Amino acid sequence: SLEHSKRADWHGRVVGSVYASLIVAVALAELFYPGAGLLTDATFGASARSSFACTLTAAYFVWDTIFCAVTGQGVALVLHGLIAFVVFVCTLQPFQQHASMVFLLQEASTPLLNLRQQLLACDLAHSRTFAVANIGFAVTFLVVRWFVMFPFTLLWYAENWRLLHAVPRDTRLRAWVVYGS
């Protein structure tokens, strides 16, 4: 019984939640049990699982960009999809696939955010489920994005700065990939 725009948003959030749940599980598996390629070379190494995760993520953001454009989700979300697509295409060189597994953990809060928004769309903001989703989202977002990702991102930028300015520069390094990611 939702109006068309809310129904489209609902369906997009279902797809986003399925993707986020799957990708967090794959990223965690790769972080706890990394493939041999990532164990030997965190910068340029790859594994079947990390390559799958990066490919799936790039594909998801192609879908997300088109979905956001077609359903009128706004320029900001279309740009977000395009930028995320470029970032994950760059990881397929391969480059920084280990780091991308850590960055993918940011998706852990997405299913809770989506559930929260879907409950709001159904006028269920006073339900127990909404309260749990609200608190769960806030805690997950704070822990993952602030306490884990903020320091990790600073270290990641420092490592990429070092890679770009190393003498001699590793011949596998492509500056456009570093800037793109």
Q: pLDDT for 75-95, tens place per residue? A: 999 999 999 999 999 999 999
Does residue 40 register a pLDDT over 90? Answer: yes
Whole-number Å distance between alpha carbons of 34 and 40:
10
Does residue 5 register a pLDDT over 90? Answer: no
116, 131, 133 from 124: Cα distances, Å: 9, 10, 12
| Amino acid letter, 52 | F
110 contacts: CB under 8 Å, gap ≥ 6: 16, 17, 20
CA 22 vs. chain centroid, Å, equals 11
Q: pLDDT for 96-126, tens place per residue? A: 999 999 999 999 999 999 999 999 988 999 9
Does residue 6 register a pLDDT over 90? Answer: no
CA 31 vs. chain centroid, Å, equals 15
Q: Quick one: pLDDT at residue 177? A: 87
Sign (positive or negative) of CA dihedral 146, 151, 155, 158: positive
Coil, strand or helix: which one is 117?
helix
Q: Quick one: pLDDT at residue 124? A: 94
Residue of 20, 49, 21 lying closest to 34 (CA atoms): 49
> Residue by residue, what is the 3-state secondary structure of 83-143?
HHHHHHHHHCCCCCHHHHHHHHHHHHHHHHHHHHHHHHHCCCCCCHHHHHHHHHHHHHHHH
Q: Quick one: pLDDT at residue 71? A: 93
